[in-house]
Every structure is written in structure tokens, then in C-alpha cells.
Amino acid sequence: MVNIQFKIIDKEDFGIIYKTYARPHLEYCIQAWSPNFQKDKMMLEKVQRRATRMVKILKKLPYETKLKKLAICSLERRILREDLIETFKKLTGEEHINRSKFFELADVTSGLRGHSLQLFKRRCHTTIIQHFFSSRIVNEWNKLPQEVVDAPSINAFKNRLD
């Protein structure tokens, strides 16, 4: 492994380096294996915390402030965002799979509040099933406003979500 050291790194350089080399490894297939244990989430977030210390002018600031100044989100926020994007793709047919294998649309006549693509949440008898993609995303998806869900494209959905 090559050890590369930087004497001074600014915010722009950090953004390029981090988004090119570190983040893809942290987020690879995260929808499939999604870290559901707090210790796993903390370990991944620790990598990002450590990386933010590379920017000298931000070194003494709290972690949340560093994230804002570097224009990056916490890992947990990015996981949720990617889960919602994946759900949008499945529900709108962008993934070319049978959405009924993942989700069941809620009955709109049941009086549920919210948008027109509300998902039905199945009861889970084991904690393992609660962490499956199709179970863990239902509550967050159902909280979205109608204008986000009605996006005409994936990019529009991402923009409205942000």
C-alpha cells in the first residue's frame, strides 16, 4: 500500500480526494448490507471523522461544523438518502424489477395521510427482517411530501429530496 502524505490540504482538495478515494469504499453496496448495529455505523463514521481532520483550518472545529463547511453529510444521512433514491427507482420502474417483490402499496382508501405512493409496512416478527431494505425504508418513505414523490425523474427526485 502506498502511503501518501499531504503537508497542507484545503477544503477543495479534501472534497476531491475524499469523494474519489474514501467515500466509495465506505458506501459500496450499502443498501444491501446496511450497517444496522450502532458499532458498525460508528466505525464507518469514525473513518469520515478522521478524514475531516486532514483539513488544517478546520481541525479544531466540532465534527458537525466540519461537515457543514466541507459540504458533506454524515454517513447515516447519506445511507438514508441512497435508500430513498433506491426506493424511488423501484417504485417508478427505473430498476426494471417487479416492485411487488420489495414493496406493497398501501390502500389509499384506508385513510392514510400523506402522498399517493404510501407503502404498507408488514409486521416483522424478528429483528433481522426489520433491517431488510424493504422493511427499514417504509417509515422514512411514507414521511416524504407529495411534491418529492411526484418527481418526474431520478435527478428531480434527488433535487427535491435535498
CB 86 within 8 A of CB 136: no
CB 79 within 8 A of CB 30: yes
Above 60 in pLDDT, residue 128? no
Per-residue pLDDT, averaged over 17-25, amounts to: 88
Share of the chain above pLDDT 70, in %: 80
Average pLDDT along the chain: 80
Question: Tens digit of pLDDT for each residue in 69-123?
Answer: 998 888 888 888 888 898 898 888 888 877 777 777 776 655 556 677 777 776 6
> Which pLDDT score is estimated for 153?
92
What is the b/e burial string over 125-142, where b = at least 16 CB atoms within 10 angstroms of the residue's CB?
Answer: eeeeeeeebbbbbbeebb
Above 70 in pLDDT, residue 64? yes
pTM of the complete model beyond 0.75 = no
> Which pLDDT score is estimated for 110?
57
Q: What value does the CA radius of gyration of the chain take, rounded to a whole number of Å?
A: 19
